[in-house]
Amino acid sequence: MNDKDFDMRAAMAAARGGREGAWALVRGFAAHWGEPLGSQDGFTGAELDAAEQRLGLRLPVALREAYRLFGRRADLTSCQDVLLTPDELYVLDGALVYRAENQGCAHWGVLLDDLAQEDPPTVGRPDLADKSQERWEPWEERFSTAAAVMAMSEKLLEDGELTDFLESEAELPDSFRELPALGRDCRWYEGPDVLVVAVEDAWIAARARTPEALEALYGAVPGDWLNG
């Protein structure tokens, strides 16, 4: 499929149905908004097997698939927060931790009790001053959903001339088409040659295909953009 034929709306809707749709979304998104996935963009089965042996547990099918598909693509995994490499995976209070906030303020994982599921739910845990108050809380219903949202949001947070960030609770104008819901507290929008995510009604990240499209976004959504 030519990346120009990529239908973001249809791909996001399909991603809500499970792993196959989620990985199709990641492939199409990577090609349309960056570079197509290649054979060297994932970790090997041997590397994941070694992680299992070190940890003494089996990794869920969906986690292995995500790591093998795009685990080495920093632009899809680690522009802001960080996907742990297989040799960095660890267990904390009953959960396998696979991702960390960039300053260590939060972590994401899969409960050990759920590892036998092919596409298990994920959990999140804030880093608190009072460690006794820390708890794993439900995050996404499927790991594949969490992984697809990670790939999209990290690409929008990539440091580059065609990306930008705004702390704002502002609603986007009607000229931006809202896309299917995907990801906890995330609202996605398409505009002319631009993709936008609004998170927790607190901040907005955007990626444009051209400098002109980014300038048009500044005009449509005024504010103190980080790079604008």
Residue 62 · residue 150 · CB < 8 Å: no
pLDDT per position as a tens digit, 71-102: 999 999 999 999 999 999 999 999 999 999 98
Nearest by Cα to 220 from 181, 168, 149: 168
Nearest by Cα to 147 from 29, 33, 63: 63
- Residue 70: its H or E element: helix 61-70
Q: Are 3-149 and 159-220 equal in CATH topology?
A: no
pTM score, whole prediction: 0.94
Give me the architecture of the 159-220 domain, per CATH: 2-Layer Sandwich (3.30)
DSSP 112: G
Domain ranges of the chain: 3-149, 159-220
Residue 166 · residue 224 · CB < 8 Å: yes
pLDDT of amino acid 4:
65
Residue 123 pLDDT more than 70? yes
Give me the architecture of the 3-149 domain, per CATH: 3-Layer(aba) Sandwich (3.40)
pLDDT of amino acid 1:
45
